[in-house]
A and B are shown apart, each in its own frame.
Chain A
Amino acid sequence: MDCPKIEPCQLYLWGEMSAKESKAFAAHLQECSLCRDEMARLEPLAASLQKLQPQEVPEALAERVNQRLAAAARLSSPKLRLPSPKVLAIAASILVVLGLAVLWRLMLTGSLEAPGPVQAAVPALTDEDYLGALALVLIMDESEAPGPELTDPDEIISAEIEDLTGQIGQLLEEIESELAPDQPNQHAPNEQGFDWPALGKTVSV
Chain B
Amino acid sequence: MKKDTAKIDLDPAALFDQFSRAVYGYALGILANVSDAEEVLSETFLRICKRKQQYRGKGSLRAWVLSIAHRLCLDVLRGKARRCKPVGLPEQLTSSNPSPEVISQRHERREILAAAIGKLPAKQREVVMLKVYGNLTFRQISQTLDIPLNTALARMHQTLKHLARDPSLGKIGTE
Q: Which residues of A contact B (CB under 8 A)?
A: 6-11, 14-16, 41-57, 61-62, 64-66, 68-70, 72-73, 76
In the assembled complex, the CB of A32 is this many whole angstroms from the nearest CB of chain B, namely 15
Q: Using A9-B157, A46-B160, A65-B42 as known contacts, say yes or no to A52 and B132 having CB atoms under 8 A apart.
A: yes
Of A43, A47, A50, A66, most buried by chain B (CB within 10 Å of CB) is: A66
Q: Using A10-B138, A55-B21 as known contacts, say yes or no to A69 and B46 having CB atoms under 8 A apart.
A: yes
In the assembled complex, the CB of A197 is this many whole angstroms from the nearest CB of chain B, namely 89
Q: At the interface, yes or no: B113 with Cβ under 8 Å from chain A?
A: yes
Q: Which of B22, B38, B49, B90 contacts A54 (CB 8 A)?
A: B22
Give 13 A-B contacts (CB < 8 Å), ordered by A residue: A7-B150, A7-B153, A11-B138, A16-B137, A44-B174, A46-B160, A48-B175, A54-B26, A61-B24, A69-B13, A69-B49, A73-B13, A76-B50
Q: Which residue of A lies closest to B52 (CB)?
A: A76
A-B contact count (CB 8 A): 107
Complex-state Cα separation, A41 to B157, whole angstroms = 11
Q: At the interface, yes or no: B119 with Cβ under 8 Å from chain A?
A: no
Complex-state Cα separation, A64 to B38, whole angstroms = 10
In the assembled complex, the CB of B19 is this many whole angstroms from the nearest CB of chain A, namely 10
- Could you say which residues of chain B place their CB within 8 Å of the CB of A47? 174-175
Q: Which of B21, B153, B156, B161 contacts A57 (CB 8 A)?
A: B21
Of A9, A15, A44, A48, most buried by chain B (CB within 10 Å of CB) is: A48
- Could you say which residues of chain B place their CB within 8 Å of the CB of A55? 21, 24-25, 28, 90, 93, 133
Complex-state Cα separation, A11 to B141, whole angstroms = 12
Q: At the interface, yes or no: B1 with Cβ under 8 Å from chain A?
A: yes
Q: Using A49-B132, A57-B41 as known contacts, say yes or no to A62 and B20 having CB atoms under 8 A apart.
A: yes
Q: At the interface, yes or no: B172 with Cβ under 8 Å from chain A?
A: yes
In contact, B169 and A45 (Cβ under 8 angstroms): yes
Complex-state Cα separation, A53 to B139, whole angstroms = 21
- Could you say which residues of chain A place their CB within 8 Å of the CB of B42? 61, 64-65, 68
Of A41, A43, A65, A73, most buried by chain B (CB within 10 Å of CB) is: A65
In the assembled complex, the CB of B54 is this many whole angstroms from the nearest CB of chain A, namely 14
In contact, B153 and A15 (Cβ under 8 angstroms): no
- Could you say which residues of chain B place their CB within 8 Å of the CB of A9? 157
Complex-state Cα separation, A65 to B43, whole angstroms = 9
Q: At the interface, yes or no: B128 with Cβ under 8 Å from chain A?
A: yes
Which residues 5-34 in B have Cβ within 8 Å of A in the complex? Answer: 12-13, 16, 20-22, 24-26, 28
In contact, A48 and B137 (Cβ under 8 angstroms): no
In contact, A61 and B38 (Cβ under 8 angstroms): yes
In contact, B172 and A16 (Cβ under 8 angstroms): no
